[in-house]
Structure 1
Amino acid sequence: MPAVISGPDNGGVAAIVDELPYVELFLSKRTEFGIIGQPFTRSGWGFPLYRDSSLAIDMSTAILKLSETGKLQEIHARCKIGLSGSFPSSGNTSSSSLKPKVIHIGALFTVNSVIGGAVKPALEAAIDDVNSDPNILNGIELKLVLRDTNCSGFIGIIEALQMMQSDIVLAIGPQSSGIAHVISHAVNELQVPLLSFGATDPTLASLQFPYFLRTTHSDYFQMYAIADIVDYYGWREVIAIFVDDDYGRNGISVLGDALAKTRGKISYKAAFSPKDPVSKISDLLVEVNLMESRVFVVHVNPDSGLNVFSAAKTLNMMSGGYVWITTDWLPLYLDSREAVDSDTMNLLQGVIALRRYTPETDLKKRFMSRWNDLKYKGSSGPGGFNSYALYAYDSVWLAAHALEVFLNEGGNVSFSSDLKLGDTNGSTLNLSSLHVFNGGQQLLQTLLQTSFTGLSGQIQFDQQRDLIHPAFDVLNIGGTGAQRIGYWSNHSHLSIVPPENLYTKPPNISSGSQHLYNAIWPGETSKPPRGWVFPNNGQPLRIAVPNRVGYKELASKDNRPQGVKGYCIDVFEAAINLLPYAVPRTYMLFGDGTKNPSYNDLVYQVSQNKYDAAVGDITIVTNRTKIVDFTQPYMESGLVVVAPVKEVKSSQWTFLKPFTKEMWFVTVAFFLFVGVVVWILEHRINPEFRGPPRQQLMTIFWFSFSTMFFSHRENTVSTLGRLVLIIWLFVVLIINSSYTASLTSILTVQQLMSGIQGIDSLISSSEPIGVQDGSFAFNYLVDELNIARSRIVQLKNPEAYLRALNLGPKAGGVAAIVDELPYIELFLSSTKCLYHTIGQEFTKSGWGFAFQRDSPLAVDLSTAILQLSENGDLQEIHKKWLTHRECSIQINQEEDNQLDLSSFWGLFLICGIACLLALTFFCYRVFSQYQRFSPEDEETELVDIEPSRSSRRSIRSSSFKDMMDFVDKKEAVIKEMLKRKNNNESKQTGHSTNGQASSPA
């Protein structure tokens, strides 16, 4: 400090060069010094960390968050950095160390316009109210720097730059979205917040333009409100008529997205220039009037929007059947007029319009009572009131509240030159006179955090920087004014309850909760229009009907006025009668009547607008759905194979056919095996299984095969035998039941005359195949199944089917016919079931009515067909035309009913394991007994017990023979022998012990 005070002549310095924070601290204490020029370097302070430290990135993000939330400025203010310094003006910078006495805010809009005429007095009233309120800004005066864009984007840019030269801290406006796009770049550079009360373009986003704040609701919400209205009345397509600028294009783009979420769409976008004359608009309306949709969404400017309805009225497009929906520009225009003439109202009868909703508060009512005094006070515009006046008024108060907080928190109203603009000093535009507002970032954060209740409702921004609680009135223009038929809010969508009454309740946007009052539509009708007509400008529907040669029950020519009759015609007529609107129609025969027409050609003619629809037995297949729309199928269909059949008499060996040879062999083997196992288990203890060898062999055979009928007379007494028998009887039960069912099937089916067993065998053969002339079966066999065209014979009626099948492939006929199931059912009933379908359907499809692409009638008729099916009318029509004899006899091959071993191996396995386990346990038990019993003892016992047999035993048998004899003995005998042996051993042991005790020592 002494160096700069002494000066260069006294050993000091002429100037000090230092970083700005240090200089600000110095100047806060010594006000006699000041900054000369502008900063000639740009840098900043940071925290040093190790190279590649991840903490550096996180700390940088945190510092940016501190800056965005305003906390960094609060820390700056607490440390008293630069708050009391004085910065004398040097021509390049300006500042104030104290709170300023006057703060300039800018306003930019078209004064002489519908919006501007209401905004100007509202802004001036707001400035007066703020300046006269002692409770805000503490005596600081707000001054309005007003610039007129004069409805010109170029002039708007020039006026905006001139406004910025006045060192404003905040700008209000513009009303034009196009000008707002350009001005937002300027305010971003100069860090001046821009509060727009009228730029509703949804693409004006905070990411691209951080200093842009919208104090009204974006058209994003308005377009979703329109989409909900369209969905509420059941319309699916709309035509958008819009002005070709940022405001119009971007709004309609959002409308398309909104409609897509409700399964709707914009079928056509009709754009025109804001300067186009009425004649061009008329040409545009003539073009859209030739299209299907009758729902028009008009998104234009309020100053020229009535030209659209004037042209529509001239073209008779404001009559019955039309739907007109406008955005908020129409209520804006009507509200701005003290009295709307009757001619204008006649143009608008039946129109649905949206108006920005503002709650009826005491604050708003007091302002409205002042309006008559305000609108003539310095206003050069039309002077009518509209909702934008409320948003403009609230914008001034938002600025005042934010500035008060900004100044109270230590914010400094200071400006500095922009180095980028300093590089343009050679330009005659004098851009260097534009200054950067140093407190712009802090003021922006303060604006985002400000909340108060204004004329338009609660002023508060959400995280996306949009005003909270977007809502609209849904108006219906009728009579001499507009009637509110409901509300739309982002909270609960369509409702007849004011939005503020719903905010305290959970949101409910289900279809059942959406309500509007009844509206009056163009043509003075209270019934909602269907929203579309046929593209030939409402002329009768041209319906093509195939002129068939055969199967005339489905569709054929008739001498009655309708001209056609048949099952398909009756279904179509019944569905049409269920529609809530009339469908004028004319039936036109397709084909010469000498052969069946090509259904592919018929569908193609519909796609080429020669016909509006095709009604008949039209199969829904992939290649047809690519060019037309089909209704819900009203008849199921699928391709089947038909071949001759004959009843084959059963042979004397038919009873053997239920099982294969392998199955018979294993079954017989198991009968014998189980018989042997049971005999072994029962032989020692059951007298019924004993006797001479011949008798025992007969017992085994008898017992085995008698179990087949559960008539075995021998009782099993052993536990193991009973266990094996229970398992075997279960196996026998399954085998018996399966045999009976298979034999019954074989005896009751018919057998095929030829070797064709289905579509697979038909493909592999080389025999000719018959198909119906004109059907899709020909293309399917050739294109999908790769069958040679030379094999396919086209037949035109059931009589031709019969002749071809009777002749057979060797006599110039066909081996089989491939056709759709409904035709085949009719054919079989007429032949008294001499022929039958073979196999199953190998395709699945259905019959439907064909319409041109995107025809709304296809959707409505699909719903009607479902209703016919549910109420039984479809079945009644089917009975009327297609009642026929059912050919229900099955057609099968013998081999299809034969049962093989693979179906029963599990049962045999279980039974076999049970038998082996029982034998194993039995053998172990017998062997244990044999070990305890010796042959010598056996011989002795046999002499005592069976003396007659001992005489016959002259030679000792071999060991194996001895064991077999042991096994052959009764269980009771063995147990008695073992008991005696144990007693003898006990006696011998006793004698031996006594002898030893009596001998001398």
Structure 2
Amino acid sequence: MEANFVISLGNKSQVPIISFSATSPSLTSIRSPYFFRATQNDSSQVRAISAIIQAFGWREAVPICEDNEFGEGLIPYLSDALEDVNARIPYRSVISPGATDEEIKDELYKLMTMKTRVFIVHMAPNLGCRVFNKAEEIGMMTEGYVWIMTDGLTNHRLMDCWDMDSKLQGVLGVRSYVPKSKKLDNFKLRWKRKFLQDNSSMVNAELDIFGLWAYDATFALAMAVERLGTANFSFDMSNVPQTVRTELQSIRVSQNGPKLIQTLSNTRFKGLSGEFGFTNGQLKPSAFQIVNGERGIGFWTSKYGFVKKLNFTNVTRYSTSRENLGTIIWPGDSNTVPKGWEIPTNGKRLKIGVPVKEGSSVFVKEMLDPSTNSTIITGYSIDVFNAVMGAMPYAVTYDFIPFKNSDGKMTGSYNDLVYQVFLGNYDAVVGDISIVVNRSLYVDFTLPYTESGVVMVVPIQGDSKKNAWVFLKPLTSDLWVTSACFFVFIGFVVWVLEHRISEDFRGPPLYQIGTSLSFSLQTVVFAQRERVTDGFGFAFPRGSPLVADVNRAILNVADSDKLREIENTWFQTQTSCSDSTPTVSSNSLGLESFWGLFLVAGAAAIFTLIIFVAEFLYKQKDVWLDSEASVRNKILKLSRIFNAKDLSSHTFRQTYERSRNDSGVHVIGSDETSPNTNNLQGSPSY
């Protein structure tokens, strides 16, 4: 609020306002031409932080921020940056600047009960020191934890407020990079000598980057004033009438303010902090140094990502590979990269839901142990899951819970079982769970541990390759002939039904015959596509950090002999073949196997054809009841009517109505035919 107020004063008086400590991203939206930010915007560092998250494969991170505009202003930008690298924020920890030590410990204890072990700390140095002290006190600076500091902490010297000598070694951080130079070294010596003269009791005082930005900002303003070449910095009264003027409205307006901001915007030089200059009132973003404690381990730039040195000689593309960083010492003096999450020791065991099936099932079986009178869950899926959990790089404790009601029957369908994971009732679901699209909207599936089908490959030696007509052997000759006749018959029936009402079944005779037969062939031969599944998999909550490790464990189990052993246990292999003859026996399918199908299809087609003919003759009863016409004339007239379009049908009625509306001509439909007229309505077959 204070910064906003000062910026508004500068805008009213047309005086440049230069800040070297206002890092809040919200100040960018003010759009005042008189505001110059001589420091890095907090949002400029979020991509460097997300690159660290991506480099080590962490999927979740919890920000711990200060409960004010400075702390919370970073969160929206950090959340977007993490989403870009497929990571998310499961919880936001907010600590008040005036929080007591007990309140800080309570919040940290809450974080200990969660799975996520990656924390991003963004707060002022005084509060940050207290948070790290309490974290070390309750055991959160040990192996398995990840701490990342923003430049709000790394740009300050924390050694004075916290015993960092050993503990800070495990903390990562990003800080604005200041290139080394002889000019900077000389300035620091002069500054320290002067500072000790004025403050002899403060021996360990160091100049941080904010002091360098302040010096460069002052130097830039002096250069701008010098280039402006004027000594007149007078102010004019505002145009507000004196009778309604308030104290703020009485502020005078600088005569040279517009010229000064233009000159200041064009000022460029190499200062103590590096290349210094303003673009749209903002300091040009610099590279960020990645630090491990106080030790630099690499750099991050917006163009190249992680690099060990800023010479860019061998760098051609953006990279977030951790190979471009130096050796990292993690909390607890560990050299092992933390996986980023843990099952809390004081947390609950994972609840694994399993389906309940009536009868025998090799995938999931519920048995009663007579010795302990307890329920035992076994089966192929259970053994595979146990093997996968055994291949995990860490211990995971869990219990199998059958998805059943008080009657011992399954409570709902498989979709209902999977949905329980989304509701939080189960931590995972194991069984013959098919991976389908609608379920993936609510859960994350692992890689399939088995295919959802049975394939039998039987090597056999036969003489089929010498017979050019071997493709006809699956069916007997009478079945082939009957099928061909049905193709023609079904095509004829479809043509009769569609000829008067569909353009697709009109035209030259050969075209009509081809359309009818192709339609019949497609209807009989090509079956509707079945629902496709991707095999059986384990279901976990969306965004669960377990999924990536479980997938790797599934691959490890699949590559070993363990999965084959489990398959042999539950799916007994047959060592001998019931038909050991080396030749292919003729087991062709005959008409006797399908006569029922042909009977039903033929009866349905004939019944439909009879209804159509009866309806057609009823509508044209005036023709065939005409006593004056001969039988031959009646047949010819009915055939002509059948060959004409049925303008009363839905297909042609809309077309003719649009034609009538466009041309203004009234078209008589077939239902308007006079009983006494001999003129046929509609167009010919072509």
Alignment TM class, shorter chain as reference: 0.5 to 0.7
Give the alignment partner of residue 582 of structure 1, picking from 385, 390, 395: 395
Whole-Å Cα distance in 2 between the matches of residues 507 and 528 of structure 1? 27
> What is the aligned partner in structure 1 of residue 220 from structure 2?
398
TM value normalised by structure 2: 0.67
1:493–1:514 contact (8 Å) kept in structure 2: no
> What is the aligned partner in structure 2 of residue 842 from structure 1?
530
The size of the alignment, in residue pairs, is 522
1:206–1:213 contact (8 Å) kept in structure 2: no
User: Quick check: 1:744 aligned with 2:473?
Assistant: yes
Give the alignment partner of residue 187 of structure 2, picking from 363, 367, 377: 367
Q: CA deviation at 1:625?
A: 3.8
2:173–2:290 contact (8 Å) kept in structure 1: yes
Against the structure 1 CA distance between its residues 512 and 315, is the aligned structure 2 distance closer, same or farther, given a 3 Å change threshold? closer
> What is the aligned partner in structure 1 of residue 447 from structure 2?
632
Amino acid paired to 1:484: G
> What is the aligned partner in structure 2 of residue 483 from structure 1?
295
> What is the aligned partner in structure 2 of residue 444 from structure 1?
261
2:288–2:301 contact (8 Å) kept in structure 1: yes
The more displaced of 413-422 and 883-892 is 883-892
> What is the aligned partner in structure 1 of residue 543 from structure 2?
854
Whole-Å Cα distance in 1 between the matches of residues 74 and 117 of structure 2? 20
> What is the aligned partner in structure 2 of residue 705 from structure 1?
none
> What is the aligned partner in structure 2 of residue 252 from structure 1?
75
Amino acid paired to 2:275: Q
Q: CA deviation at 1:205?
A: 1.9
Whole-Å Cα distance in 2 between the matches of residues 287 and 456 of structure 1? 40
> What is the aligned partner in structure 1 of residue 211 from structure 2?
389
Whole-Å Cα distance in 2 between the matches of residues 513 and 331 of structure 1? 20
Return 5+ residue gaps in structure 1 as ranges. Answer: 1-177, 641-736, 752-837, 898-1001
Give the alignment partner of residue 173 of structure 2, picking from 350, 353, 377: 353
User: Quick check: 1:419 aligned with 2:232?
Assistant: no
Q: Secondary structure at the match of 1:265?
A: coil
Amino acid paired to 1:857: L
Q: CA deviation at 1:553?
A: 2.7
1:767-812 alpha-carbon deviations (Å, 9 max, x no partner): xxxxxxxxxxxxxxxxxxxxxxxxxxxxxxxxxxxxxxxxxxxxxx
1:8-64 alpha-carbon deviations (Å, 9 max, x no partner): xxxxxxxxxxxxxxxxxxxxxxxxxxxxxxxxxxxxxxxxxxxxxxxxxxxxxxxxx
Q: CA deviation at 1:369?
A: 1.5
Residues 616-765 of structure 1 aligned to structure 2 (within 5 Å): 616-621=431-436, 624-637=439-452, 740-741=469-470, 743-747=472-476
Give the alignment partner of residue 510 of structure 1, picking from 319, 331, 336: 319
Against the structure 1 CA distance between its residues 494 and 743, is the aligned structure 2 distance closer, same or farther, given a 3 Å change threshold? closer
Whole-Å Cα distance in 2 between the matches of residues 315 and 749 of structure 1? 85
1:213-271 alpha-carbon deviations (Å, 9 max, x no partner): 22222112211111111111111111111112222222121111111111112222222
Residues 881-920 of structure 1 aligned to structure 2 (within 5 Å): 881-882=570-571
> What is the aligned partner in structure 2 of residue 435 from structure 1?
252
2:71–2:122 contact (8 Å) kept in structure 1: yes
Residues 149-188 of structure 1 aligned to structure 2 (within 5 Å): 178-188=1-11
Residues 167-566 of structure 1 aligned to structure 2 (within 5 Å): 178-205=1-28, 208-334=31-157, 342=163, 345=165, 348=168, 350-376=170-196, 383-407=205-229, 412-420=232-240, 422=242, 425=245, 427=246, 429=247, 432=250, 434-462=251-279, 464-477=280-293, 482-497=294-309, 499=310, 501-502=311-312, 508-512=317-321, 515-534=324-343, 537-546=346-355, 548-556=357-365, 564-566=377-379
Amino acid paired to 2:554: I
Against the structure 1 CA distance between its residues 248 and 617, is the aligned structure 2 distance closer, same or farther, given a 3 Å change threshold? same
1:402-432 alpha-carbon deviations (Å, 9 max, x no partner): 111111xx6853321222485654x5x4752
1:365-411 alpha-carbon deviations (Å, 9 max, x no partner): 1112123223245569975421111111111111111111111xx68
Whole-Å Cα distance in 1 between the matches of residues 23 and 201 of structure 2? 21
Max Rg structure: 1
Whole-Å Cα distance in 1 between the matches of residues 386 and 24 of structure 2? 48
Q: CA deviation at 1:893?
A: 7.7
Amino acid paired to 1:363: K
Whole-Å Cα distance in 2 between the matches of residues 188 and 749 of structure 1? 96
Against the structure 1 CA distance between its residues 608 and 523, is the aligned structure 2 distance closer, same or farther, given a 3 Å change threshold? farther
TM value normalised by structure 1: 0.47
Whole-Å Cα distance in 2 between the matches of residues 220 and 890 of structure 1? 74
> What is the aligned partner in structure 2 of residue 612 from structure 1?
427
Whole-Å Cα distance in 2 between the matches of residues 584 and 195 of structure 1? 57
Q: Secondary structure at the match of 2:61?
A: strand
Against the structure 1 CA distance between its residues 505 and 534, is the aligned structure 2 distance closer, same or farther, given a 3 Å change threshold? same
Amino acid paired to 2:541: Q
Q: CA deviation at 1:471?
A: 1.7
Against the structure 1 CA distance between its residues 206 and 239, is the aligned structure 2 distance closer, same or farther, given a 3 Å change threshold? closer
Q: Secondary structure at the match of 1:203?
A: helix
Q: CA deviation at 1:453?
A: 0.8
Whole-Å Cα distance in 2 between the matches of residues 743 and 614 of structure 1? 47
> What is the aligned partner in structure 2 of residue 645 from structure 1?
none
Against the structure 1 CA distance between its residues 266 and 214, is the aligned structure 2 distance closer, same or farther, given a 3 Å change threshold? same
User: Quick check: 1:603 aligned with 2:418?
Assistant: yes
Q: CA deviation at 1:441?
A: 1.7
1:530–1:581 contact (8 Å) kept in structure 2: no
Q: Secondary structure at the match of 1:181?
A: helix
Whole-Å Cα distance in 2 between the matches of residues 524 and 539 of structure 1? 29
2:476–2:590 contact (8 Å) kept in structure 1: no
> What is the aligned partner in structure 2 of residue 865 from structure 1?
554
Q: CA deviation at 1:209?
A: 2.2
Q: Secondary structure at the match of 1:531?
A: coil
Amino acid paired to 2:93: A
2:173–2:292 contact (8 Å) kept in structure 1: yes
Q: CA deviation at 1:435?
A: 1.9
1:402–1:443 contact (8 Å) kept in structure 2: yes
Residues 36-115 of structure 1 aligned to structure 2 (within 5 Å): none
1:238–1:293 contact (8 Å) kept in structure 2: yes
Amino acid paired to 2:194: L
Whole-Å Cα distance in 2 between the matches of residues 487 and 460 of structure 1? 22
Q: CA deviation at 1:444?
A: 1.2
2:213–2:273 contact (8 Å) kept in structure 1: yes
Against the structure 1 CA distance between its residues 375 and 864, is the aligned structure 2 distance closer, same or farther, given a 3 Å change threshold? same
> What is the aligned partner in structure 1 of residue 489 from structure 2?
none
2:36–2:278 contact (8 Å) kept in structure 1: no
Whole-Å Cα distance in 2 between the matches of residues 494 and 531 of structure 1? 20
Q: CA deviation at 1:303?
A: 2.5
Against the structure 1 CA distance between its residues 386 and 279, is the aligned structure 2 distance closer, same or farther, given a 3 Å change threshold? same
Against the structure 1 CA distance between its residues 552 and 743, is the aligned structure 2 distance closer, same or farther, given a 3 Å change threshold? closer
Q: CA RMSD in A?
A: 4.1
Whole-Å Cα distance in 2 between the matches of residues 440 and 544 of structure 1? 70
2:352–2:428 contact (8 Å) kept in structure 1: yes
Q: CA deviation at 1:629?
A: 2.9
1:549-585 alpha-carbon deviations (Å, 9 max, x no partner): 5444323358799965432233324433444433333
Q: CA deviation at 1:880?
A: 5.1
Whole-Å Cα distance in 2 between the matches of residues 505 and 285 of structure 1? 43
Whole-Å Cα distance in 2 between the matches of residues 518 and 588 of structure 1? 44
1:715-755 alpha-carbon deviations (Å, 9 max, x no partner): xxxxxxxxxxxxxxxxxxxxxx99x356422149999xxxx
